[in-house]
Structure 1
Amino acid sequence: MLIGITGTPGTGKTSVAEALRRRGHAVLDLKTTVAPYVLEHDEEMGADVVDVEAWAEAYADLDGFVEGAISHYLPCEKVIILRCRPDVLEKRLTPRGYSAAKIRENAEAEALDVILIETADAFATEQIYEIDTTFIDSETAADMILAFAEDKVPASFGSLDWSEYVMSL
């Protein structure tokens, strides 16, 4: 079973993936596998355009987790969306050396539920689990992910509302 772990940059995907790996789970880092499938680099967005269909075909037999900001475009059986309050997200992204514009763009995307909306458009309600990582550590988030993966908790998403942040822009 392929389970995607997605979210805006800074929501904790890499840290949670490391926590899952420490527990012995197979976790593929999407960034380490996409290079052969990059169609172009969008300079304006500072992001690669990836041939998701070709990647998915190459990794069709993957059993485990795949972590990355575009994993919700893959043919996963379940998708976990990591979320973070936009003001906290900005603080997490600042040390990465991103430009102010890129930090703002990511915070706005988080406030506007961009990845949630993209995921909800592509997957059934029972396949999606949203986790607010604003004030929890990666081990707690990993516990929550495993509970959903093992059908111990129901799907859940759409309860976070950061419209206040949008209004302050």
Structure 2
Amino acid sequence: MAEHRKRKPTKCLRNLLLTGTPGTGKSTVAAKFCARMRLNVPANDWPVHINVSELIKENPSRFAEEFDSERDCFVINEDAVVEHLEPIVQKCNVVLEHHSSDWFPERWFSRVVVLASATDVLYRRLEARGYTTEKVQENVEAEIMQVCADEAMTSYDRKIVDIYENNTEDDMERIVGNLCEWWLIRS
């Protein structure tokens, strides 16, 4: 376990980690949630959405150790990302999104949401993104084996981890509505 996971807890009631296999809807859920909250809470309570994958892509020299051409992705420098995010997360009201969750400090979050999808839905979404056949299969297999759910359940207090199926627009609306209710209770 990395040293950053052992530090003093964050005194924050409202930081959310959205995780799940690529293609389960993390970015869309986060965007819809943040947009809805901007209509319902004062500006100083607006959630800040951070897509960790995008953060790394925008500044690979700072946040990546190398590029894995076989998997078509960056190898993350987890310590550098955590060091960068620490002061942001300390301010609270953060919606952090990434497919991997075990390397983020547990103290950062008051809720962890794992998004899951049926394999046929996930397959179509990843194919539409232009993923290679190998990358689609790898992610569908990860979803079948519940890699992201298991990682979250073993890395965080199970009381704060929820798993939601996100296959349809109705599913997404229920998830966003649930997140909004949770956020407003903590206002």
TM-score (norm 1): 0.80
Tell me how far apart the structure 2 counterparts of residues 93 and 85 of structure 1 sit (CA, whole Å): 12
By how many angstroms is 1:149 displaced? Answer: 5.0
Change (3 A) 1:151 1:3: same
Find the counterpart in structure 2 of residue 21 from structure 1. Answer: 34
Superposed, 1:1-169 pairs within 5 Å as: 1-23=14-36, 24=38, 25-34=47-56, 35=59, 36-61=62-87, 62=89, 63=92, 64-75=94-105, 76-77=108-109, 78-135=111-168, 136-149=170-183
Tell me how far apart the structure 2 counterparts of residues 134 and 26 of structure 1 sit (CA, whole Å): 25
- Indicate the RMSD between aligned Cα atoms, in angstroms: 2.0
Tell me how far apart the structure 1 counterparts of residues 157 and 184 of structure 2 sit (CA, whole Å): 17
Tell me whether 132-141 or 73-82 shows the greater mean CA deviation: 132-141
**Which residues of structure 2 form unaligned runs of 5+?**
1-13, 39-46
Tell me how far apart the structure 2 counterparts of residues 146 and 128 of structure 1 sit (CA, whole Å): 16
Percentage of identical aligned residues: 26
| Higher relative contact order, structure no. (Cα contacts within 8 Å, ≥ 6 residues apart) | 2
Change (3 A) 1:54 1:124: same
Tell me how far apart the structure 2 counterparts of residues 52 and 150 of structure 1 sit (CA, whole Å): 31
| Structure possessing the higher radius of gyration over alpha carbons | 2
**Which residues of structure 1 form unaligned runs of 5+?**
153-169
Contact kept in structure 2, 1:6 and 1:82, CA below 8 Å: yes
TM-score (norm 2): 0.73
Q: Which stretches of structure 1, 4 residues or longer, exceed 6 Å deviation after superposition?
A: none
By how many angstroms is 1:79 displaced? Answer: 1.3
Tell me how far apart the structure 1 counterparts of residues 183 and 153 of structure 2 sit (CA, whole Å): 18
Contact kept in structure 2, 1:8 and 1:82, CA below 8 Å: yes
Give the helix-richer structure, 1 or 2. 2
